[in-house]
Every structure is written in C-alpha cells, then in structure tokens.
Amino acid sequence: MKAHLTRRYMFSASHRLHSDAMSEEENKATYGKCNNPYGHGHNYALEITVSGPVDESTGMVCNLTDLDSFVEHEILDRFHLQNLNTVPEFGQAVPTTENLSAFIYDILQRGFTHAHLEKVRIEETMMNSFEYAGGNEVRR
C-alpha cells in the first residue's frame, strides 16, 4: 500500500525582488512594491509531501522524526530569519517564492532518503501559494 504524507513547517524570511540583469525601471515595472530597496518579509508556511509504501511494522510512510530533523537542519536553519537575497542559493537567482520552492525541493531531493519526495508547497500570503514537484533543473 502506498500513502502520501504532508507535513507543514513555518519560517520567516525577507527578500527584495530585483534582477541585476534589468534596469531600475524594468525592476520597478516587473516587481512593483516587492522591489522596495529595503525589502519586505513573509511568514511562510512550507508543506512537504512525501510518499511511499506503508511499512508493515510501523504503519508509516516515514518516521516524522527523520523528516522533521532533516527539514530543521537543512531547510529551516538555512532560511529562517534570513534575508533571502544574501543566502548562497540566490547568488544568481531572484529570490521569488517560485525559486525558493524549487531550491527547497532540490535540497530535499538530494538529501532526504527515507521516502519519495512528491512536492513542495509554500504559502507566502493568504492569497499566494507556490508548488514545485520537480521536472526542471533548478537554476543557480
């Protein structure tokens, strides 16, 4: 039997949407108020969905302790309370939540081996959420 598990995590971070490849005018036209030179912050809700066979002895897809520990050390410690413009993952990429979703997926895909990673979903605001399920190389 295959089952899916979705776990939710919270973290806060700030960012400024700005591309060095565009002029100031293009950045303002493209990113609007999110191009504020001082940045702005979000309280993100991160959902990670994994799947796999249900272990007959435990009744679980994976141990939540394993997932929580990995997410804490590899994701939350890296992004919580950070200015996303300053973290290495965004050295060449605009710190949009679309890109953040893809980076988090990539980190999980490379390192979490206890279950199959299905998707990453990030809720940025009540009105905006972003989902990434792989299939394209993450741009660095």
Write the pLDDT tens digit of every residue in 7-39: 999 999 999 999 999 999 999 999 999 999 999
> Please, which pLDDT band fits residue 64 given cuts at 50, 70 and 90?
very high
Closest to 112 (Cα-Cα) out of 5, 13, 12, 10:
5
pTM above 0.95, yes or no: no
Indicate the domain borders of the chain.
Answer: 2-132
> Please, which pLDDT band fits residue 103 given cuts at 50, 70 and 90?
very high
Average pLDDT estimate for 38-50: 97
pLDDT of 136 higher than 80: no
> Please, which pLDDT band fits residue 1 given cuts at 50, 70 and 90?
confident
Cα 79 to Cα 19, 40, 98, 131, distances in angstroms: 20, 15, 15, 17
In this prediction, residue 137 carries a pLDDT of 58
CA distance 96 to 101: 9
Write the pLDDT tens digit of every residue in 113-126: 999 999 999 999 99
Average pLDDT estimate for 81-105: 96
The CATH number corresponding to 2-132 among 3.30.479.10, 3.40.50.280, 3.40.50.300, 3.40.50.720 equals: 3.30.479.10
